[in-house]
């Protein structure tokens, strides 16, 4: 072994600035010069050439590959956006307001089946934009006048075929005697009796046999007048 080769037998990590007892085989002068130049250019004693890390056995290891950070996908739509909460809250408040206020409807007839037919036609609410209905059923004309005098009635439904006091005459009496009489719907005996409804000063009229849709529509029209006023 020549003196030049003996001088080039250096510890691998000693070239890298680390103290070690591991040795490698003969290295050519050109390789040592290239290594030192690379160390001087990189300024990093742990890097050689193309940033390959050298271990104690002299094997080259590539630095760990860093996987590219994926850009986050499109954010999933939050189920509770402020505007949706506002819309839901407004709808809920409107429904609560409709449920707390009621529409009081007086139904007069001596025939219980007629009163039931009116209740079934109008239902709990004559229209979606109107409050719930609370019914007051009267079988006598005296009960009707007493209830109207007490106040609190929003809509009145009078059966024109009731006996002994018909709803048409009772309607004219209420319109003449009750201060701020609520709107009245009369149930006439036949469609040709519309002139009697006009004589009774009724606000609307529906003939027998009762059409549930017509009764609900007529009550809803009168109720809107009360709610708007």
Distance CA 174, CA 170 (A): 6
Encode pLDDT of 96-152 as tens digits: 444 448 999 999 999 999 999 999 999 999 999 999 999 999 999 999 999 999 999
Number of compact structural domains in the chain: 2
- Of the candidates 227, 229, 221, the one whose C-alpha atom is nearest the C-alpha of residue 98 is 227
- The range of the structural domain enclosing residue 38 comes to 3-61
For residue 50, being part of any structural domain is answered with yes
Residue 187 shares a structural domain with residue 118: yes
User: In the prediction, which pLDDT does 52 show?
Assistant: 46
H/E/C letters for each residue in 103-123?
EEEEEECCCHHHHHHHHHHHC
In a domain, 72, yes or no: no
Dihedral angle, C-alpha 153, 226, 88, 82, nearest 10 °: -130
Q: What is the pLDDT of residues 152-167, one digit of tens each?
A: 999 999 999 999 999 9
The CATH number covering residue 207 comes to 3.40.50.2300
What is the β-pairing status of strands 53-54 and 155-159? Answer: unpaired
Q: Would 223 be classed as within a structural domain?
A: yes
């Amino acid at each position: 072994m020549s003196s030049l080769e003996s001088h080039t037998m250096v510890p691998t990590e000693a070239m890298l600035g680390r103290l070690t007892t591991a040795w490698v085989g003969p290295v050519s002068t050109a390789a040592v010069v290239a290594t030192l130049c690379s160390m001087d250019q990189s300024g990093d004693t742990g890097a050689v050439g193309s940033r390959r890390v050298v271990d104690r056995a002299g094997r080259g290891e590539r630095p760990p590959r860093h996987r590219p950070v994926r850009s986050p996908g499109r954010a999933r739509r939050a189920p509770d956006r402020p505007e949706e909460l506002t819309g839901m809250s407004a709808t809920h408040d409107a429904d609560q307001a409709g449920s707390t206020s009621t529409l009081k409807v007086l139904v007069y007839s001596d025939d219980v089946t007629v009163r039931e037919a009116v209740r079934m036609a109008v239902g709990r609410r004559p229209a979606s934009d109107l409050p719930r209905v609370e019914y007051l059923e009267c079988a006598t004309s005296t009960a009707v006048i007493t209830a109207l005098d007490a106040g609190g009635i929003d809509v009145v439904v009078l059966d024109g075929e009731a006996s002994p006091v018909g709803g048409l005459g009772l309607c004219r009496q209420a319109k003449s005697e009750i201060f701020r009489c609520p709107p009245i719907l009369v149930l006439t005996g036949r469609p040709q009796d519309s002139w009697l409804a006009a004589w009774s000063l009724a606000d609307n009229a529906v003939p027998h046999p009762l059409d549930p849709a017509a009764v609900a529509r007529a009550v809803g029209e009168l109720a809107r007048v009360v709610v708007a006023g």
